[in-house]
Amino acid sequence: MDLEELWRDVTGTQPPPSDAAVVALAAVALLLVAVPALWRVTRHAVTIAHEGAHGLAALLTGRSLTGIRLHSDTSGLTVSRGRPGGPGMVLTAFAGYVGPALLGLGAAYLLHHDHALAVLWLGVALLALLLLQIRNFFGLWSVCIAGVALFAVTWWGSGTLQSVAAYLGTWFLLLAAPRPVLELQALRHRGWARTSDADQLARLTRVPGLVWVGAFLAVTTGCLLMGAWWLLGVGY
């Protein structure tokens, strides 16, 4: 396949799955989020998107990105340099918890217009860019595994497999995004998350951390509802 043919495939359209298949994939994604044993594994994908969103926001607001670390307990750390306060720091801190939902919403929009292959290639590209900023072994391993798996499906998978992967990944991001927000507030309630994004935002803005948690939840829930609207084909 030459570059011109590849570009035609990426920018072209692919037939969507049946309505029943889209609903079934949503159910599978919900299991990946709701079943504790599965969530302990799949949550790593949310952490990758979370820390990647911090990094992207830092770059877009003019901060210098030092590096990203991903840990085996599904936590992560993104370090950037710049002003210790101000809008850039606020946007960087805010981006993490809403990042997976916004990524899922963008993918849902593309799928609504039958661009399943574009969703997969976008995922490959973002993982490749993220890999350049990873600064620890576990992070390298987890991003490489995700990137290789996604690339394999994108390059060698059948059209049906590619469509299934795009819809399943999109449903997962949309359904998974609110759960870490709820987990965050549970930890804050116990006094175990004093350095969380919400508490950092509270120190930066003097707006209570609970308000920021509410904002995270509003954005992630709104993205889920809008994304589901598009994925289920409403509005055609």
Asked if residue 1 belongs to a domain, the reply is: no
Tell which residue, 65, 169, 43, has the closest CA to residue 111: 169
DSSP-derived secondary structure for 101-136? HHHHHHHHHHHHTT-HHHHHHHHHHHHHHHHTTB-S
Residue 236 is classified by DSSP as -
Range of the domain at 198: 29-231
Asked if residue 45 belongs to a domain, the reply is: yes
Which amino acid is located at 73 in the chain? D
The percentage of residues in the chain with a pLDDT greater than 90, rounded to a whole number, is 89
Asked if residue 84 belongs to a domain, the reply is: yes
Asked if residue 210 belongs to a domain, the reply is: yes
Asked if residue 15 belongs to a domain, the reply is: no
Spatial distance between the Cα atoms of 90 and 109, rounded to a whole number of angstroms:
27
pLDDT tens figures, 78-102: 999 999 999 999 999 999 999 999 9
Could you give the number of structural domains in the chain? 1
Asked if residue 34 belongs to a domain, the reply is: yes
pTM for this model (two decimals): 0.96
Asked if residue 10 belongs to a domain, the reply is: no
Tokens of 227: 């994304």
Asked if residue 67 belongs to a domain, the reply is: yes
Distance of CA 217 to the CA centre of its chain: 15
